[in-house]
């Protein structure tokens, strides 16, 4: 297949220098081929960064104006405020400027700690080791009643204590209904892992502060009670 937008050697040299100036290691970047907006018979070249899935693609696309003509575009991940971004380029100087922006966005995302993942790891690592037989057991009726009561307290805390919009209320309700239903079929270990993920997902989607997140985990620990001491205190 043809390359949709081929860069000059001098342009690739500009990219190399920009990478060095931003204090990256050029060897951590790799040229790859991607699908092109120009059509299925074309490929677009792009730089990928290590094993992050982040990329910067040099492409082009047909403009619908009359007469139709090609315009240069770049597609990148991460974007400035979104997972992916796409930008129309009118000159190489502008392309180079956006490339430098992208390098700063990559540095921002790779150097920012994943606090939610750390919180989940702490919740698990702080707990004592359990016998595998107990971990694989299911909740009895009394334990499920206790769990559901804890989930109801979490729901009340979120809906009554926060100013949620209609879509956020619906999201919280769906997450907690799933947890209640899954307690009837998942073993204790699997359900607890799912519950941790659900609390973190809720916290992320609602933008909750750390104290509120710890409060939600507290309700969850109370609900688990003697059934399984899987969450750190």
pLDDT tens readout for residues 83-102: 899 999 989 999 999 999 99
pLDDT band at 133 (very low <50, low <70, confident <90, very high): low
Average pLDDT on 4-15 reads 93
Q: CB of 123 within 8 A of CB of 200?
A: no
Whether 144 and 222 map to the same domain: the answer is yes
Whether 51 and 132 map to the same domain: the answer is no
Provide the pLDDT for residue 231. Answer: 46
Provide the pLDDT for residue 25. Answer: 95
Which structure tokens are listed for 4?
């949709």
Contacts of 225 by beta carbon, 8 Å cutoff, 6+ apart: 143, 146
233 in a domain, yes or no?
no
Is residue 159's pLDDT more than 80? yes
Provide the pLDDT for residue 106. Answer: 96
Q: CB of 231 within 8 A of CB of 130?
A: no
pLDDT tens readout for residues 58-76: 999 877 666 667 889 999 9
Is residue 224's pLDDT more than 90? no
* Separation of alpha carbons 114 and 117, rounded Å: 5
Average pLDDT on 40-55 reads 91
Percentage of residues of the chain with pLDDT beyond 70: 88
13 in a domain, yes or no?
yes
Provide the pLDDT for residue 135. Answer: 60
Which of 111, 140, 170 is at the close of a domain?
A: 111
Q: How many domains does the chain have?
A: 2
For 23, the domain range is 2-111
**Which of 45-49, 110-114, 205-209, 211-215 has the largest mean confidence?**
45-49
**What number of helices (H) and strands (E) belong to the chain?**
8, 6
Whether 138 and 199 map to the same domain: the answer is yes
Q: How far is CA 215 from the centre of its chain?
A: 23
């Amino acid at each position: 297949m043809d390359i949709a937008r081929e860069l000059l050697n001098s342009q690739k040299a500009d990219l190399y220098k920009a990478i060095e100036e931003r204090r990256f290691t050029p060897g951590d970047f790799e040229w790859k081929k991607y699908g092109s907006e120009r059509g299925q018979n074309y490929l677009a070249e792009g730089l990928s960064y290590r094993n992050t899935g982040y990329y910067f693609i040099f492409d082009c696309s047909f403009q619908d104006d009359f007469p139709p003509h090609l315009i240069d575009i770049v597609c990148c991940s991460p974007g400035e405020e979104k997972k992916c971004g796409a930008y129309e380029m009118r000159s190489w100087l502008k392309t180079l400027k956006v490339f430098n922006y992208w390098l700063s966005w990559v540095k921002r995302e790779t150097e920012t700690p994943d606090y939610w993942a750390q919180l989940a790891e702490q919740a698990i690592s702080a707990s004592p080791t359990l016998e595998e037989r107990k971990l694989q057991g299911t909740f009895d009726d009394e334990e499920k009643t206790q769990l559901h009561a804890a989930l109801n307290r979490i729901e009340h805390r979120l809906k009554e204590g926060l100013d949620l919009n209609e879509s956020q209320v619906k999201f919280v309700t769906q997450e907690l209904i799933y947890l209640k239903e899954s307690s009837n079929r998942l073993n204790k270990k699997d359900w607890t892992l799912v519950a941790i993920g659900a609390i973190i997902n809720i916290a992320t989607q609602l933008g909750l502060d750390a104290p509120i997140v710890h409060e939600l985990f507290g309700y969850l620990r109370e609900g688990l009670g003697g059934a399984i001491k899987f969450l750190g205190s």
